[in-house]
Amino acid sequence: MTVKVAVLTSGGDAPGMNAAIRAVIRSGLLAGYEMFAIFEGFRGIIENKIVSVDRTFVSEIIMRGGTILKTARFPEFRDSKVVEKAAENLRFYGITHLIVIGGDGSYRGAYALSKHGIKIIGIPATIDNDVMGTEQTIGFDTALNTITEAVDKLRDTSSSHHRCSIIEVMGNRCGDLALYSGTACGVDLIISPEYRPSEEEIIETLKNINLNRARHALVIVSEKQFEDLEKLRERIVEETGFDAKIEVLGRIQRGGSPTASDRVLAGRLGVYAIDLIAKGIDNVCVGLVDGRLRHHAIAEVTKSTNPNLDELLNVIDKLK
Ligand code: F6P
């Protein structure tokens, strides 16, 4: 009997999701599986947005941002009755395996489904880079490059106006986007959950930068770090000698054509996911560890977050 494997994307979209969908579907077909696409994440299972696909379904998508399968946040999936209904729907189609492309929230949904007998493989895709079991998530590199380009541009105009740009980046309580983009752009200050100067230290640092006759100051802030970022901006204007503006980069960080690095990562992880199914391995999440493809039990990966940042924090300290 032909094994039936479905794929969906879930949570916030990330550049490279399409490349991962392509890799999963093409390698799955090559392995002899019937491949199904599910639209709109876990909600699509409940609403039966499930179709059998061939290899042309994923033609011309490797370079496209977003996800052709659409995605959704679906809090109802915390209810075990909804999860049971989803498992029933998948069984109706004869689908035994589900590949979930998304972040840690999506993994929790996938784990819940695995408890109802569906065999799961998780592929990490989120710009936040906050998924356990991998040193890099699909989408992180593209978002990092998008931020880098934006900050370089803000540097120009900040210099012209003797201004402090306070640039808010995404990350959902993980500082990787802030820490890596801050390092890539050589900014004056990074404020993230892992690197959190006090308000006094922030003001002191900016005052000193101004006293040293800098033409501008660049500050990268992870989202969700301040109840009211505007208050900090006002203090900077009043106390440091710089004019200051807040620049929230927002969902621009989630869009755009994926970088080569994200496309390659998506291809590697997608093919690896199918290889694992062929070996009879399931209920795992795939990832990169020390640059090599690895898998971990989904039960472990859903427990906690956060990779080791000590080495990067040391670089940031030495270059500030
Ligand atoms: O998880 C990706 C992410 O972009 C986070 O960085 C951000 O906090 C969140 O999604 C925003 O989600 P939404 O677009 O659903 O508001």
pLDDT of residue 301: 85
User: Given this chain, do its domains 4-139+258-305 and 141-254 carry the same CATH topology?
Assistant: yes
The best mutation among 10, 43, 138, 172 to test binding of ligand 1, ranked by most ligand atoms within 8 Å of the C-beta, falls on 172
Q: Which atom of ligand 1 is nearest to the CA of 73?
A: 15
pLDDT of residue 307: 56
pLDDT of residue 308: 62
Dihedral (CA of 194, 198, 199, 203) sign = negative
The best mutation among 43, 101, 106, 127 to test binding of ligand 1, ranked by most ligand atoms within 8 Å of the C-beta, falls on 127
Marked catalytic residue, from 104, 128, 141, 176: 128
Nearest-CA residue for ligand 1 atom 11 is 12
pLDDT of residue 62: 98
* Distance between Cα 106 and ligand 1 center (Å): 13
* CATH T-level topology, domain 4-139+258-305: Rossmann fold (3.40.50)
Q: Which atom of ligand 1 is nearest to the CA of 170?
A: 6
Ligand 1 pocket, residues with Cβ under 6 angstroms = 11-12, 73, 103, 126-128, 170-172, 223, 251, 254
10-residue mean pLDDT profile of the chain (320 residues): values are 97 98 98 98 97 98 98 93 97 98 95 97 97 95 98 97 97 96 97 94 96 92 96 97 97 98 98 98 96 94 66 80
Q: How far apart are CA 228 and CA 212, in angstroms?
A: 28
Q: For residue 104, indicate whether it is catalytic.
A: no
* Distance between Cα 184 and ligand 1 center (Å): 22
Q: Tell me which DSSP letter residue 11 carries.
A: S
In order of 112, 114, 144, the CA distances from 117 in angstroms are 10, 5, 37
Which run of H or of E encompasses 191?
A: strand 189-191
> Do residues 123 and 21 lie in contact, with contact meaning Cβ atoms separated by under 8 Å?
no
- Answering whether pTM is above 0.85, one says yes
Nearest-CA residue for ligand 1 atom 12 is 12
54-63 burial string, b = 16+ CB within 10 Å, else e?
eeebbeebbe
pLDDT of residue 304: 56
* Distance between Cα 126 and ligand 1 center (Å): 9
* Distance between Cα 172 and ligand 1 center (Å): 7
pLDDT of residue 320: 74
* CATH T-level topology, domain 141-254: Rossmann fold (3.40.50)
Boundaries of every domain in the chain: 4-139+258-305, 141-254
In order of 26, 86, 221, 256, 259, the CA distances from 36 in angstroms are 11, 15, 40, 26, 27
pLDDT of residue 24: 98
* Distance between Cα 44 and ligand 1 center (Å): 20
Q: Which atom of ligand 1 is nearest to the CA of 254?
A: 4
Nearest-CA residue for ligand 1 atom 2 is 12
User: By C-alpha distance, which of 161, 184, 121 is closest to 247?
Assistant: 161
